[in-house]
Amino acid sequence: MHILHTCSYVLAIAVYVSGSICVCSCRRSNDSKHFCFYQSTRDLQTILNILCILNELVSVGGGRRVGVLVSKGGTAILLQLLITTSKEWPPSEELMLQLHTILAKVGPKDRKFGIKARINGALNITVSLLKQNLQNHKLLLPCLQVLRVYSANSVNAVSLGKNGVVELLFKIIGPYSKKNTSILKVTLDTLAALLKSKANARRAVDRTYVPTLLAVYQDWHRNDTRHRHVHIRKAILGCIRNITNIKLGRKAFLEADGMRILYSTSTECLSVRTLDPLINTSSLIMRKCFPKNRLPVPTIRSVFHYQLPHIPAEGPVAQLYRQPPDVDDVVDESDDNDDTEADTENDTENEEDEKNHKTQNDDIETDISKLRPKENLTRPLEDLKMYECFFPELSENFQGYSFDSSKSCQTPAVLPKSLAPIVVPTAHAPSPLSLAQGELTDLPLDLDSICISKDGPGGAGGAGEGLAQELERVALEEDTLNGQSQSPVVGSLQGELEHDDDCSSHSSGELGVLEVPDTAALLPLHDPELYIDMVKGTKSVPQYTEVAYPDYFGHVAPTFREHILERVYGVQRAKIFQDIERMIHPNDILDKVVYDLDLKRSPVIDDGESLKFNSQFESGNLRKAVQVRKFEYDLILNSDINSNHYHQWFYFEVSGMRVGSSYRFNIINCEKVNSQFNYGMQVLMYSVQEAISGHPRWVRTGTEICYYKNHFSRSSIAAGGQKGKSYYTMTFTVTFQYRDDVCYFAYHYPYTYSTLKMHLQKLEALRTPQIYLRQDVLCETLGGNSCPLLTITAMPQSSSNDQICQFKNRPYVFLTARVHPGETNASWVMKGTLEFLMSPSPMAQSLRESYVFKIVPMLNPDGVINGNHRCSLSGEDLNRQWQRPSPDLHPTIFHTKGLLQYLSSIQRVPLVYCDYHGHSRKKNVFMYGCSIKETLWQTNVNAAACDLQEDLSYRTLPKILSQLAPAFSMASCSFVVEKSKESTARVVVWREIGVQKSYTMESTLCGCDQGKYKGLQIGTRELEEMGAQFCIALLRLKRLSSPLEFRNSSHFLDVENDLIESRCKVTSSTTYVLDEDEPSFMEEVDYSAESNDEPEPDPDPQETPADEDGLSDSELALRRS
Ligand SMILES: [Zn+2]
């Protein structure tokens, strides 16, 4: 009775489906015929007939008919039928065959099929049917197909595993045979699905199925010579891949000689392009199973030690100091929780949850009170008084200054360039002064004592002595005694460059005697001698005495174009195979340390056989170099001081090269999951031979560049509580052109602190009587270096009241740069800005007459000097300290904020604030700003956003820039305030100081994908141009705000349209930013995915369109993009 009832429903569905087919102009069947069936469904035969019809109906017309069946509740009815028929009489083979055939079609179209099957108790029926019919191939196939759908559900997978299905499937898997390949394929797919459960993977390891699978794979590899069954071979690899997601599986794989097996089968496949999917999967498995190693360094903490005046109570540095000594040992691999049965009952059960789980960014600030201006100043007014001396322009009346002597370049007597640093009082140094600038030179400042009081032991205190000692050492080594002056040594390899006779006459005091390329005409702001002078005053933690040639000679931007590299297919795979060979053929590996800063006395190991490395100069970063093969070197970067990570910046010297050989360099401790090195960015190289022959320049260089996860990792404790973190390799290949060359490699165009000081001195020379330029020292850094502060505006035309009044009332523009030392591009942009501001052009003059510029061109001198990437000596990211900067740990931020707070306290809040940065993961130049409305739009607090009045002019400056500057992209800008950014300059200056136009300007390290520079890598010329265009944009901003021009330029303020555009766009969840400089990666490709422990399931190879000729997913995505 039951059955009949159910069957009538099935029939009803059959009728319905057939009806819809009729509508679809398939008129073979007629309704009355089906109606007859409806009346006579009384026995097994009838049910079979109905199922036959149903089967026929759903076999044609693609998936649409099945879709209808599913949407009408067909799945449940069919499953019910399966249950009842299996209960009421010994199951009819024919009925089971028909039912499973339909279920195999329905299952993949019903997202809840797995759950429904489990709830109805269908799993065991299929399983027992399988057990009884292992030899019955006709029935086996549909049953396996249904089982494959069951297994896709993780809860089902666990329960099926407990019922012995893994073992059952292994009975079906056999050696190579041309027969029954479809059954084998479905079996393998089902097995792969089951093995995603850790419990099942463990079961498979216990039953020693790993060597079995490897043997089966080899068998198919050997016999499938015409590659007819690539899908089966891929499916076997799929099983191995899932088993090796657990630690035991990886162990079993290694013990079964899996590395060698997959390596040799893969290399045999290399010549056949259609076998790429096999090679890619094999490579993924091998990388995963490659034993994790710790980096070959004694500790991942910085090799340089700097004792902080005090260690903050909490935060990353406190954590670092609390760590036990052997903390970076890789204790374990990623799946520590192997033994918990966490993967059992609640994995992907709730699809509803998944659906509701929108990709909401939980970093968006939703607390409106945190978006509203913060009124109360954190520092009392009396305290801010000390900054008055940095603003003499506000009180100056220019009496007695002769304005008509326009020819004389005489600096106004009241405005001397400050000679001695102003030491702003800090907690350690009680206020020595709040005096006018002119009196400074008379101050009884004992600079030495200040240095000592500020430097802890191990700091740069007593640098003079240290310098001399270092010099002596270097001088001895260099065999040039009597180095009486404190001249730093230029480079370290004079000997190798002495081929030039003119250079051999070492004059007594000069160590670095080289023919300096005559670039004065091309580089008006560069002066090698002045650079050396500047270096003498620069205090580094390692007490560097050498100067790198590129900084000494300078850089003349090349005139040729440097294109973003096209990625060559298969490069990453080839590199990974070379890495795997290290394990396969360990005897071919030299493993010879050739440079090691941990050997403090003699880091350079030179036996004439290997390349010679050096990084002991300002901004240098290279900790260790290991020669792996004759022409291959592993390089390890140094962590930021007082930190155990943040390495990305590199700058080092190489010599002793052979001409014409290709050298492979691998930086093996990169941290980011992806890099622009995967998207066409090259490293920079500077050849001293080229420089001497008249081309002192950094050029983009390197081939076979790629970036991928490697087999080095650190312990979870060292990684700050996160799971053990893998490192990434950035590899590049270089062929050197000159014999006896000295070459330098860098992450980006270097720009040292000494370079800044040299440029600032040279800027003085550009001063005209129209220009008001002041250079002050804002404060001293922890490392004892001064932090320069510039004031640039126009001199008043006369001392008349009107003129002085206009002078004093110019709005302020406040600019900062280089808080992150690795972002050297920020300094090049700043250089462009400064040179524009000092230029004699009418536009520059007009700009000077419009604003007073306050500029801190380098917020983090210590970080820059010591080759840090992100932090200052305090081991902290200074751009996360703006809310509560500490006067002794973050003096540059504390006092820069102080200047802004002072301006705010006297009602002179700047019109614009901008902090220049560099961006490592995006192309173009763009800005981040702050808008309450645009932030709230990201959330669901729309009601609140609508009430809110907000001045939209924060969009004007970026808009102008997008029209002016070819590298600038409005589409990449974002005006969202993120929680993680609440202590950055941009957000604090906006919220606490009240600067509406407060920005971060990010310049790409790579290149542009739009505008005039589309397809080109960025160079210093473009960066400097950007800095100049920023100035021009400010001038236009000024003109726009004057009523006369406003009318004519209203298109600039077409903000409403803009906003609508951007509002549509932001819902795509990609325009807002995830973390300061590295927003969520916007390009499709993610190479890290290839090596993830839980990779995405591969699409069924049979379903993959043929034109995608076996590229890996990531490479396909790359091709599409
Ligand atoms: Zn930055």
Average pLDDT along the chain: 79
Q: Is the pLDDT of residue 778 over 90?
A: yes
Q: Hunting for tokens 């360039």 — which residue is that? A: 417
Q: In the chain, what percentage of residues exceed pLDDT 90?
A: 57
Lowest mean pLDDT among 97-111, 375-389, 675-689: 375-389
Q: Is the pLDDT of residue 42 over 70?
A: no
Q: Is the pLDDT of residue 446 over 50?
A: no
Q: What confidence category does residue 601 fall into, taking pLDDT thresholds of 50, 70 and 90?
A: confident
For 550-568, give the DSSP string.
HHHH-----SS--BPPPPP
Identify the residue with better confidence: 442 or 194.
194
> Which two three-digit tokens encode residue 983?
């202590």
Q: What is the pLDDT of residue 1111?
A: 35
For 238-244, what is the mean pLDDT? 97
Q: What confidence category does residue 938 fall into, taking pLDDT thresholds of 50, 70 and 90?
A: confident
Q: HSE on the CB side for 914, CA within 13 Å?
A: 25
Q: Is the pLDDT of residue 450 over 60?
A: no
Ligand 1 midpoint to CA 879 (Å): 8
Distance, in Å, from the CA atom of 30 to the CA atom of 793, rounded to the nearest integer, reads 91
> Which two three-digit tokens encode residue 599?
């050997």
Q: Within its chain, how far is the Cα of 729 from the centroid?
A: 13
Ligand 1 midpoint to CA 918 (Å): 5
> Which two three-digit tokens encode residue 463?
């640098």
Ligand 1 midpoint to CA 884 (Å): 19
For ligand 1, an ion, list residues with CB under 5 A.
820, 823, 917, 1077
Return the closest-CA partner of residue 106 out of 157, 141, 152, 55. Answer: 55
pLDDT digits (tens, 9 = 90+) for 962-991: 999 999 999 999 999 999 999 999 999 999
For 404-426, what is the mean pLDDT? 39
In the chain, the largest separation of any two C-alpha atoms, in whole Å, equals 118
Q: Is the pLDDT of residue 480 over 70?
A: no
Q: What confidence category does residue 32 fall into, taking pLDDT thresholds of 50, 70 and 90?
A: very low
Backbone phi, psi, residue 447, to 5°: -60, -40
Ligand 1 midpoint to CA 917 (Å): 4
Return the closest-CA partner of residue 595 out of 626, 628, 551. Answer: 626
Identify the residue with better confidence: 177 or 988.
988
> Which two three-digit tokens encode residue 733?
């290949």
List, by residue number, the catalytic residues: 1002
Backbone phi, psi, residue 381, to 5°: -55, -45
Distance, in Å, from the CA atom of 135 to the CA atom of 143, rounded to the nearest integer, reads 13
Q: Hunting for tokens 């005090």 — which residue is that? A: 310
Q: Within its chain, how far is the Cα of 1092 from the centroid?
A: 16
Q: Is the pLDDT of residue 697 over 70?
A: yes
Q: What is the pLDDT of residue 669?
A: 95
Identify the residue with better confidence: 374 or 4.
374
Ligand 1 midpoint to CA 969 (Å): 18
Distance, in Å, from the CA atom of 1073 to the CA atom of 578, rounded to the nearest integer, reads 37
Q: What confidence category does residue 329 fall into, taking pLDDT thresholds of 50, 70 and 90?
A: low
Question: How much of the chain is helix, strand and coil, in % rounded to 5?
Answer: 45, 10, 40
Q: Is the pLDDT of residue 422 over 70?
A: no
Q: What confidence category does residue 91 fall into, taking pLDDT thresholds of 50, 70 and 90?
A: confident
pLDDT digits (tens, 9 = 90+) for 349-375: 333 333 344 445 678 887 877 887 776
Q: Is the pLDDT of residue 603 over 90?
A: no
Ligand 1 midpoint to CA 116 (Å): 52
Q: What is the pLDDT of residue 266?
A: 96
Ligand 1 midpoint to CA 922 (Å): 12
Lowest mean pLDDT among 216-220, 316-320, 1012-1016: 316-320
Ligand 1 midpoint to CA 58 (Å): 58
Greatest mean pLDDT among 96-100, 358-362, 474-478, 783-787 lies in 783-787
Ligand 1 midpoint to CA 869 (Å): 10
> Which two three-digit tokens encode residue 52?
């036959």
Q: Is the pLDDT of residue 252 over 50?
A: yes
Identify the residue with better confidence: 637 or 450.
637
Q: What is the pLDDT of residue 38?
A: 33
Lowest mean pLDDT among 170-174, 524-528, 1058-1062, 1089-1093: 1089-1093
Q: What is the pLDDT of residue 1088?
A: 36
Ligand 1 midpoint to CA 919 (Å): 7
Ligand 1 midpoint to CA 819 (Å): 7
pLDDT digits (tens, 9 = 90+) for 537-575: 999 999 999 999 999 999 999 999 999 999 888 899 999
Identify the residue with better confidence: 378 or 438.
378
Q: From residue 1045, how far is each of 78, 86, 705, 984 by CA, in Å?
A: 75, 86, 50, 35
Q: Is the pLDDT of residue 520 over 80?
A: no
Distance, in Å, from the CA atom of 6 to the CA atom of 11, rounded to the nearest integer, reads 9
What is the sign of the dihedral through the CA atoms of 365, 370, 372 and 375? Answer: negative
Q: What confidence category does residue 934 fall into, taking pLDDT thresholds of 50, 70 and 90?
A: confident
Q: What is the pLDDT of residue 49?
A: 84
Q: Is the pLDDT of residue 486 over 90?
A: no
> Which two three-digit tokens encode residue 1046?
């406003």
> Which two three-digit tokens encode residue 132?
């009884």
Ligand 1 midpoint to CA 816 (Å): 12
Ligand 1 midpoint to CA 81 (Å): 64
Distance, in Å, from the CA atom of 711 to the CA atom of 290, rounded to the nearest integer, reads 6
Return the closest-CA partner of residue 333 out of 1093, 1088, 1091. Answer: 1093
Q: Is the pLDDT of residue 941 over 70?
A: no
Ligand 1 midpoint to CA 675 (Å): 15
Lowest mean pLDDT among 316-320, 409-413, 550-554, 828-832: 409-413
Lowest mean pLDDT among 170-174, 261-265, 409-413, 483-487: 409-413
Helix (H) or strand (E) holding 790: strand 786-794
Q: In the chain, what percentage of residues exceed pLDDT 70?
A: 74
Ligand 1 midpoint to CA 1000 (Å): 9
Helix (H) or strand (E) holding 528: helix 528-536
pLDDT digits (tens, 9 = 90+) for 1019-1061: 999 999 999 999 999 999 998 877 555 444 444 445 444 544 4
